[in-house]
Chain A
């Protein structure tokens, strides 16, 4: 996977590239808008990490230009501003996600993967969470060596949760995803599927759990006891 990092601070760029490379990503470094544009014209990057404050212009301008040219490549903003307006402006300009400095490299890594998965721009063969792996092409989940037997909707739900790993999947989104937009079901239809999926995961040996954030939605996470901190 190839990442373009547009960041003017040389220390941060070096450390960040180093951290991402240790996680198996190839990183190209651009110091300003001009260099960034040059790299982007050459193409071949799966995602762009864009700093907002650059010496020769605003990162947002570069992003807008990119989107205006119809380039849909995932872009994550790295911002030191953090004010809500700045974040919203970034998302409005066409960013896929944003991270406020300083950030956790694991979280950055996860967000890059999540954005790629959501976009369909980068789909690995498998999605994983703790001991659970999910083969996207075969639509088959397994925990360790145990293959889970799941219904079509259970599989859909699991894939959705895995693709958005690390964030809460709103209940409404899950409902739309499983039953189609506007499908009128009982309000607890999704709970039934979550309940069943939990049971299947538990039966297969656990190591992964579906957390409920009451009033919001669901989230898949590795079991705290089974996973490293």
Chain B
């Protein structure tokens, strides 16, 4: 249970990013390597030093035996100048009494000496000692490692600290190098991600670059590109299909319209023609939409917004005037714009037609170009309540196609045209607070 919770916490702490994992692993590796290396070296060194010390003790014992063998009554049995080297030699009789003590008298050592039938090494504090049977008693040789002349321990200590100091930068450098490497790697992935982020209905032919990503990640790019190829194919087929359908529908619609015109009953004829006009409008919008989808590869041209608006107003004016409304063009300092003439015309036509469809007779419709690259269609009709207007705007904001409330696909076409030009469509009350105004804002040329 506790173990499980610990594992879970560890998993939470474990970074999800490759970069983080790489660094974490390196840090752990560095710590473990430093610890193992230090430990190993210290054990090895200490063992070597101890071995060396034991040799020394054995040599002294042997030397003492030699001296005693030649002169059994000798009092000086050491080979070296004892007081300086911290060495002491004691010769004990069978009852543990010191017969000869040479060097510092170490009672504790003599008391602790195991005195067995074999050579035994032992130690008390910093004093290392040997006891070995000699004739009826023992020889005990002791060496204080802390004596100033004994350097083996110092060497070991100094070496180990230096070694640790040397090891530390390596342990630190390892994660750093790893970090730099990973950073390079992730930067390339991020570059490719930025390209991927730009792929959409407006840039459907964009693909991820080959040969940029690390070899291990390349298959992901290849597979993504293949998926995009399939999507693009489907997307284009759909656009072409919509265009074909719309196109094919127009001739039969024309025939039906001609036949409807011959209907004698005035009321029935009017109703028939109205329905036909509505169908024709939808077909036209469908075609316009498909046309817009196909246009994504084009670079666009410089558009004279005022001239474009004048053309649309002039073309729509006869029908609008005949319907009992008026239309006017107001140039408030229009600036040229980089874009697509066809879709922009379609968008403006849709906004104007929308205004006509949703206002009563006697409404004044104004197309305002400028200031700058703004395009507004404003009317002084009944307008739309603020709440509904907000809902309409929100739907644009979310990118959903507004299909309800009688706006048809007209406004979604306008919205898509705005998007294709990196522009926005805003809905507000009309001029003087009456009616409604749709404003397209574009970036300047």
Contacts and interface: CB of A to CB of B under 8 A. Distances in A.
B274 to A, nearest CB: 12
Nearest to B256: A102
A104 to B, nearest CB: 8
Contacts of B250: 80, 82, 100-102
Contacts of A16: 254, 258
A191 to B, nearest CB: 14
Interface stretch (A122-130, A137-145, A209-217): A209-217
Contacts of B253: 101-102
Given A81-B247, A168-B318, A216-B329, A101 B313 contact: no
Interface stretch (B127-135, B180-188, B341-349): B341-349
B114 to A, nearest CB: 110
A214 B329 contact: yes
A83 B288 contact: yes
Interface in B290-327: 291, 310, 313-315, 317-318, 321-322, 324, 326-327
B232 interface: no
Contacts of A215: 310, 313, 328-331, 367
Interface in A1-25: 9, 11-12, 15-16, 18-19
B247 A80 contact: yes
Contact of A19 (B247, B258, B317, B345): B258
Contacts of B280: 102
A12 B342 contact: no
Given A15-B258, A216-B329, A84 B341 contact: yes
Nearest to A228: B266
Interface in A199-229: 211, 213-217, 219, 221, 224
A183 B284 CA distance: 42
A190 B257 CA distance: 40
A167 B255 contact: no
Nearest to A209: B321
A151 interface: no
A97 B130 CA distance: 123
A211 to B, nearest CB: 5
B255 to A, nearest CB: 5
Contacts of A85: 291, 342
Contacts of A224: 322, 324
A55 interface: no
B287 A82 contact: yes
B259 interface: yes
A72 interface: no
Nearest to B249: A80
B261 interface: yes
A10 to B, nearest CB: 10
Contacts of A166: 318
B314 A105 contact: no
A100 B318 contact: no
A7 to B, nearest CB: 9
Contacts of A170: 310, 314
Contacts of B326: 211, 213
B255 A11 contact: yes
A103 B341 CA distance: 23
B310 A219 contact: no
Interface string B249-283: 01101111111011000000000000010001000
B291 to A, nearest CB: 5
In this complex, the member of A9, A102, A104, A168 whose beta carbon has the largest number of chain B beta carbons within 10 angstroms is A102
B236 to A, nearest CB: 16
A106 B34 CA distance: 96
A48 B262 CA distance: 23
A228 B231 CA distance: 54
A183 to B, nearest CB: 21
A217 B284 CA distance: 27
Nearest to A218: B317
Contacts of B257: 102-104
A115 B324 CA distance: 26
A168 B328 contact: no
B328 A19 contact: no
Given A224-B322, A224-B324, A102 B254 contact: yes
Contacts of B346: 84
A219 B321 contact: yes
**Which of A85, A103, A213, A217 gathers most chain B CB within 10 Å?**
A213
A19 B328 CA distance: 34
B254 A83 contact: no
Contacts of B345: 84
B314 A101 contact: no
Interface centre among B254, B276, B284, B291 (most CB of A within 10 A): B254
B314 A12 contact: no
B258 A221 contact: no
Contacts of B259: 15
7 contacts: A82-B250, A100-B284, A102-B280, A166-B318, A168-B313, A168-B317, A214-B329
The 7 closest A-B pairs by CB, nearest first: A215-B329, A84-B342, A214-B328, A102-B254, A15-B258, A80-B250, A101-B254
Given A16-B258, A102-B276, A168-B314, 6 more contacts: A12-B254, A19-B258, A102-B257, A213-B327, A215-B310, A219-B321
